[in-house]
A and B are shown apart, each in its own frame.
Chain A
Amino acid sequence: GESVGLHLPTLSVQEGDNSIINCAYSNSASDYFIWYKQESGKGPQFIIDIRSNMDKRQGQRVTVLLNKTVKHLSLQIAATQPGDSAVYFCAENFGAGGTSYGKLTFGQGTILTVHP
């Protein structure tokens, strides 16, 4: 079946470095993508989202890039801080082409560790 997956299960960076977390998706009908951050013992926290009619979206210290040609999504975190240490999940939604509600398909997650 179609799924969302991650290239790198773990990523270790030094404080102040930029981090890039990658995600591959296989459903070309997906029209909406989200990144969530999950800290230990907590539920996923929304970071940033992007629609399929865009290829880049920026937030505070975060940027999401979408490459529909190769079905690839990435999350860039600028000036990574120890507080950014968490598991990061990408998720896709088959919105307009399928469901019209928030049924998300999640990837496995990438563990980001930021060293002081």
Chain B
Amino acid sequence: GAGVSQSPSNKVTEKGKDVELRCDPISGHTALYWYRQRLGQGLEFLIYFQGNSAPDKSGLPSDRFSAERTGESVSTLTIQRTQQEDSAVYLCASSLGPRGSGANVLTFGAGSRLTVL
């Protein structure tokens, strides 16, 4: 596609429920990233995919968070047993190659806003 697509754009859930957030990167982009943005704050790195492997998962806050990627395509971020502190905008980004700079600068989607009641 023309850009990074994320769905749903908004999700309201009850505490304790599981949620899945989806990211469709730009076609041909091998690198994919998930970031989290809490209200009024900057972005926090969660996980990096190169192809369908995740060499860096260091930003995942707890074992309730997991992510998968199918080939060099769609990625899903899953949050199990959601807590109120999980409320945030979850942003996906992709880049042509792994470097993240120059021709490989990260392009972000609009994000999925998660609200946990």
Contact = CB atoms under 8 A, between A and B. Distances in A.
B56 A108 contact: no
B75 interface: no
Given A49-B105, A108-B42, A103 B100 contact: yes
B26 interface: no
Contact of B41 (A41, A42, A44, A109): A109
Interface residues of A, number: 27
Interface stretch (A14-22, A53-61, A62-70, A93-101): A93-101
Contact of B48 (A95, A101, A108): A101
B117 to A, nearest CB: 21
Contacts, number: 80
Nearest to B59: A103
B109 A43 contact: yes
Contacts of A105: 45
Contact of B56 (A32, A43, A45, A101): A101
Given A43-B91, A89-B42, A102 B100 contact: yes
B42 A109 contact: yes
Nearest to A93: B100
A95 B105 CA distance: 13
B51 interface: no
A100 B31 CA distance: 12
B4 interface: yes
Interface of A: 4, 32, 34, 36, 41-46, 49, 51, 89, 91, 93, 95, 99-109
